[in-house]
């Protein structure tokens, strides 16, 4: 079993829909990252969370440390949100990654 599990693997949405991507992990961590990877490979760090909730524009990330679960929400989705979203955790001073969720937002 992977230490970091993401769901769903693939997600297709219509423009304007509310999107949720989930991440569960089985290791002790001090923080969790949400990353965005566009075609071509470049990775952007969206959020770092150690507790509670963070919001940036249309993106919201939440984490429940006790339940070892995090969610990334996108409100009013747009085709430019199409990317792979990756959850990563920091145990033992390295990084463990989920397999990613491929999001396609159709106009």
- Kindly list the residues in this chain that would bind another protein in the complex (CB under 8 A): 31, 33, 35, 40-45, 48, 86, 88, 90, 92-100
> Smallest Cα–Cα separation from 68: which of 107, 96, 106, 104?
96
Is the Cβ of residue 68 or residue 91 nearer to another protein in the bound state? 91
Min dist CB 74 to another protein, Å, is 20
In the complex, the smallest distance separating the C-beta of residue 73 from another protein, rounded to whole angstroms, is 20
Q: Which is nearer to another protein, 37 or 71 (CB)?
A: 37
d(CA 95, CA 82): 24
Say how far residue 18 (Cα) sits from the centre of its chain. Answer: 14
CB of 67 to another protein, least distance (A): 21
Using DSSP bridges, classify how beta strands 59-64 and 52-56 pair: parallel, antiparallel or unpaired.
Answer: antiparallel
């Amino acid at each position: 079993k992977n230490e970091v599990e993401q769901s769903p693997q693939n997600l297709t949405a219509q423009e304007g829909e509310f999107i949720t991507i989930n991440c569960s992990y089985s290791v002790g961590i001090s923080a969790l990252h949400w990353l965005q990877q566009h075609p071509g490979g470049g990775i952007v760090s969206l959020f770092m969370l150690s507790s509670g909730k963070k919001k940036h524009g249309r993106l919201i990330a939440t984490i429940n440390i006790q339940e070892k679960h995090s969610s990334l929400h996108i409100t009013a989705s747009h085709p430019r949100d199409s990317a792979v979203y990756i959850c990563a955790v920091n145990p033992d001073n390295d990084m463990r990654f989920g397999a990613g969720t491929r999001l396609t937002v159709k106009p």
